[in-house]
Amino acid sequence: MTVTGESLYPLGMLGGAFDPVHIGHLRGAIAVREELALQRVDLIPAVQSPLKSSAALPSEHRLAMLLLAVNDVPGLGVDTRELERSGPSYTVDTLIAARAEYGEARPLLWIVGSDILATLRQWSRWQELLDYAHLVIMARPGADAPDDGITEWIASHRIEGAQAVTQPAGGVVLVQQPLLDIASSQIRSLIASGGDPRFLMPDAVMEYIEDNNLFSRGDTCQ
């Protein structure tokens, strides 16, 4: 593999169901990109999140909304690799594939909200995540605290953002800008009850939902 200057730029990666994508996802991605001076953050929709029930919408709708959401937003992109795999979307498999594609030298930064820390031990091969990328943790309001072992693991691997963008993997970065307290499940329920989701998502996404009659009462039980 030929390594170019562009291929060494640090790359942020934010996974999720995006069911639907909302401004909390987008502001979180932008906040990390700006704080760590990343050239790009890719949003990666999952086929099936291993620790969640099935997505309310099929992947083609979730992907279409995601593409609309990042259109013309500088520094945000969409990576469809998890949609192209069958079975549950395990983060470690995604990072292994990304590392193989981007090479050993490029800094990769996997972005999560602090709410995932309480269930991190349930992730497939979670101890291997730092073999392939850095973990960037954003504070989320009301998140449950992780157990002492995870807290110690974070502390033992903690690095500053300036280190993360110059090293390929292996560190944990804490980002101070908190995620907005918005959940896709709340938006689905709001729409199903006839509420107005305005300002919780980009206008283009809201129009797509309206045009395709998504999240009707029968679709939002999950």
Q: Is residue 221 part of a domain?
A: no
For residue 120, tell me if it sits in a domain: yes
**What is the structure's pLDDT at 206?**
96
Domain annotation covers residue 219: no
Q: What is the CATH number of the domain that holds 118?
A: 3.40.50.620
* pLDDT for residue 7: 64
pLDDT score for 207: 97
What confidence score (pLDDT) does residue 6 get? 55
Residue 220 inside a domain? The answer is no
Number of structural domains found in the chain: 1
HEC states along the chain? CCCCCHHHCCEEEEEECCCCCCHHHHHHHHHHHHHCCCCEEEEEECCCCCCCCCCCCCHHHHHHHHHHHHCCCCCEEECCCCCCCCCCCCHHHHHHHHHHHHCCCCCEEEEEEHHHHHHHHHCCCHHHHHHHCEEEEECCCCCCCCCHHHHHHHHHHECCHHHHCCCCCCCEEEECCCCCCCCHHHHHHHHHCCCCCCCCCCHHHHHHHHHCCCCCHHHCCC
Low-confidence stretches of the chain (pLDDT beneath 70): 1-7, 53-54, 217-222
Domain that holds residue 167: 9-183+190-214
| Residue 2 included in any domain | no
- Any domain includes 73: yes
For residue 68, tell me if it sits in a domain. yes
**Per-residue pLDDT tens for 95-148?**
999 999 999 999 999 999 999 999 999 999 999 999 999 999 998 877 888 999
Q: Is residue 59 part of a domain?
A: yes
